[in-house]
Structure formats: C-alpha cells, structure tokens
Amino acid sequence: MRRIRKSHTSNVLTKYAEKNPNGTWVVFQQEHGKAYKAIKDKLFEEQSEICAYCEIDLSKDNTYDHLRRVEHFKSKSGWKIGNEQPNWHLDWFNLLGVCIGGTDRDDRERFIMPDNISCDSHKEHLETNLGYNKNWLGKVVSPLESELSSEMFNYCKASGELGVNIEHANSVRFEHNDYETSAELLQKSLELFNLNCERLKLARREIHHVYERIKAVYRKTGDVSMFTFKLKMWCCSDQVRSFQTTRDILLRECSVARNCLGSCR
C-alpha cells in the first residue's frame, strides 16, 4: 500500500454532494454517467493507475475498464440518512480506485477461492460472511494516511510476501489506529485486505525476477550506464509503477542500485 494524495479542489462529485447531502452512490452513478466516469478516471489518475491496496497495474492501456472499480473505504451501505455527515456514499475522501480483487473468471479458474480474493473484494467478503463492521477507519490503514510509506514494509524474496518493518512502522503515529501500535495496524491491514494471498505473492515475484535479471546482466557486463538505464525503466523513477512498494524495497536493499539511481522513492 502507498500513500495517496487526493486533490482538495472541488469536482463534479463534491458539487453533487453539496446539492444532494443524502444522495446515494447508485443514483449518482446511474443518473449522472458522465460525471461518474470523470470521477472514476480522476481517482485512478491521482493514484498513478494502480490499485490503492495491492498496487496492481490498472492503466487503461493494460486492463479493461470493468476491472477498475470505485471503492468506498467506509462501506457506503453502512451510512444511513440521518447519520452524521459526510455521507459515505458521496464523500470524495472516502473513494479509492481499486481492482476487483481476483474475482474475474481467469483468476477464479487459476487460483483457489476465496483464499485468493483481495483488496475491496476481500473486505466485502468479511462484511458479508463474517459480520465485520462497515466502518474500517482505524481497523486497517487508510491509503490517505500522511505517514504511510514503503519503508514500513519488508519483502520476502523467497515467497513474495510483504511484512511489516516493525521498527520503522512504530517510529510514526497514524491519525486513525484502533490498535496499540502502528505495526499492528499495518499487519492487520495486510491480513484483512489479504495482500499476501498466493495470487499477489506470485505477481510480486514476477516483478522481483525481472529485477534480478537486470542485476545479473550488470554483474556480467559491468556496464553502469546500461544498468542505470534498465533500472530506471524497471522502477520508472519519474512515476509510480505497479507493485511500487515491492520495487522500493528491493532498491532500498541494494546499495549499488541506490547509488546508480541517486536515490529511490
């Protein structure tokens, strides 16, 4: 998970919410199709076209639009008319762009379900089947938390699993945290979004293997210029890439790569 910096300027959704404080997401989506599309595109644009939770690539060039979903961090069905504003349905700061969590046909045929659903889909699974509360603030880390960073996570090269860098995590305090420590909040987030399912671990290992091939060529040739070029292509230092947290961790652990790039994100 990465920190998301959402824009604070007004947009078509905030304007609609001002006029319809008790409106629903379904009505906005169905009766204001162009505005809905604009908001969906804006969400992913501000997230560099990756899922807010697992960081899979959701750019339009590489995926179908139906695999890009708008997520309500605090589940919209948990807000009723008469509850305290803001309306969870229409709160711009309650919306995130996410994947469909491995629920497409290809993933269902390839991986064991529900063990391999993740992100919003896994959150919905917990609410529907295990009775979890629909207000997730403090129970999992919000991608909007200003202190959230890749330094708070570790990556296991053998398994592709993400873990918590306990020392670094506990050096900061999150605004919303129902647990005793920041590390516990992050660990619960990995578990409740199921970010270490086999499907995602496999995807991270594929990213890792590309990195290892780049290093292997450098060790063979010693060509620093080519190594630096390949690294920039792999980590794309001028923009966020899919599984950027994994990329950041791998770069963080390699002094030669850090020196070639100057500094990593």
Give the pLDDT of residue 265: 42
Evaluate whether residue 135 is within a structural domain.
no
Residue whose entry in the numeric block shows the structure tokens 């959701």: 58
Q: Give start and end residues of each alpha helix (H) in the chain.
A: 12-19, 25-31, 33-46, 105-110, 119-130, 166-169, 182-192, 198-221, 224-235, 244-252, 255-261
Evaluate whether residue 253 is within a structural domain.
yes
Evaluate whether residue 223 is within a structural domain.
yes
Evaluate whether residue 2 is within a structural domain.
no
**137-195 per-position pLDDT tens digit:** 999 999 999 999 999 999 999 999 999 999 999 999 999 999 999 999 999 999 999 99
Evaluate whether residue 235 is within a structural domain.
yes
Evaluate whether residue 176 is within a structural domain.
no
Of 42-46, 63-67, 180-184, 198-202, which gets the smallest average pLDDT?
63-67
pTM of the entire predicted model:
0.93
Mean pLDDT of 20-39: 96
Evaluate whether residue 221 is within a structural domain.
yes
Note down the domain range covering 231. 200-261
Does 237 have pLDDT greater than 70?
Answer: no
Evaluate whether residue 211 is within a structural domain.
yes
Domain count, the chain: 1
Q: Is 221 exposed, middle or buried (0-12, 13-18, 19+ CB in 10 A)?
A: exposed
Q: Give start and end residues of each alpha helix (H) in 32-181.
A: 33-46, 105-110, 119-130, 166-169
